[in-house]
Amino acid sequence: MATAQPITIIGGGLAGLTLGIGLRQRAVPVTILEAGKYPRHRVCGEFISGRGQATLARLGLEELLTDLGAVRASTTAFFTEKCVGAPHPLPTPAVCISRFALDAALARHFENLGGTLRTDQRVNPTDIAVGTVRATGRCVPKATSKSRWFGLKIHARNVALTADLEMHFTPHGYVGLGQLAAGEINICGLFRQHTDRSGTARNRWDLLRGQPGSPLHARLATAQFDATSGCAVAGLSLRPQRSAACAEICIGDAVTMIPPVTGNGMSMAFESAEFALAPLVGWSRGELSWAEAREKIIDDCDRSFAARLFWAQWLQRLVLTSALQHPLHGLAEGSAWFRNRAFAATR
């Protein structure tokens, strides 16, 4: 039997680590090169909603989530700066889990399977050859963009939610609240910052608290924030991109980001890793060429993600149009059909 060809993964986030674990389970030699260290906090909604849960089950990683204290989320509620929402059941429950704990646990599991993990390793993304997969995360937009998206995340205690997952919309972004283990709450927001606006008089972290008088501000009035968990990310590009636009094999956010309003980002990372798994095993064993493996991964990713990216982009545009937030909130509150259709279309 021929020796399996080794694979290098650039990026040790959710997609890179999950792919590495799957490859090691199939005896493929794998090295992951990660620019940072573990554990670390990441700007993330920190819940898995969608088909990614099935991917984790097929890879035997459900028990790992349970051991980390993953919390089941069965209800959601929507708020604007003036309107309070009631809890509604999710069509399919989500799983809430801290990235601080999850990334580190996946890294340990990968190494326990015999994978090689090298942290503090920055790689020029243009130096990618055959046998190398890019899982380097978000795409950075051109500097000429009229506006930039930036994300903020922090954990807090002493916050009583009315639903397992809450979404609070503001004129310039949105803030999601999710229940984590041991009474912690994840607070994660996405905001638009215009490049032609001078000065930043308001502390960016105040954006997570909401405007005085809003349901979000009232919800976090007694919150005890964990300053060590605070993190930010800027230069986010939310324009959908197809896998075929990538010259190399890419997975996760290295291909495209889905607008965070959908809560499907973590799931897509896991799913894209699974799509890449069989073709890369085939290449490693000499059953496929690198070009054939890439083509198979592109086809699977684009077929699975194209529709949800399309609808997610429109959903984001609608909820961030101030004049539409009130009628959309009323529609979401009054129509289970609308909520379920929006959920299904973005997953």
**Lowest-confidence pick of 77-91, 244-258, 275-289:** 244-258
Predicted local distance difference test score (pLDDT) of residue 194? 57
Tens of pLDDT along 95-113?
A: 999 999 999 999 999 999 9
The neighbour count for residue 239, using CB atoms within 10 Å, is: 12
- SS3 for 201? coil
pTM: predicted TM-score of the whole model, two decimal places: 0.92
- The span from the CA of 331 to the CA of 164, in Å, is 21
Domains of the chain by residue range? 7-345
Tens of pLDDT along 42-77?
A: 999 999 998 999 999 999 999 999 999 999 999 999
Tens of pLDDT along 127-148?
A: 678 999 999 876 554 444 455 7
Instruction: Answer yes or no: are the C-beta atoms of 116 and 32 closer than 8 Å.
Output: yes
The neighbour count for residue 127, using CB atoms within 10 Å, is: 8
CATH superfamily label, 7-345: FAD/NAD(P)-binding domain (3.50.50.60)
Instruction: Answer yes or no: are the C-beta atoms of 12 and 111 closer than 8 Å.
Output: no
Query: Per-residue pLDDT averaged across 30-34, rounded?
Result: 97
- Residues 6+ positions from 176 with CB-CB distance below 8 Å: 45, 165, 166, 167, 168, 186, 187, 188, 189, 260, 263
Predicted local distance difference test score (pLDDT) of residue 141? 47
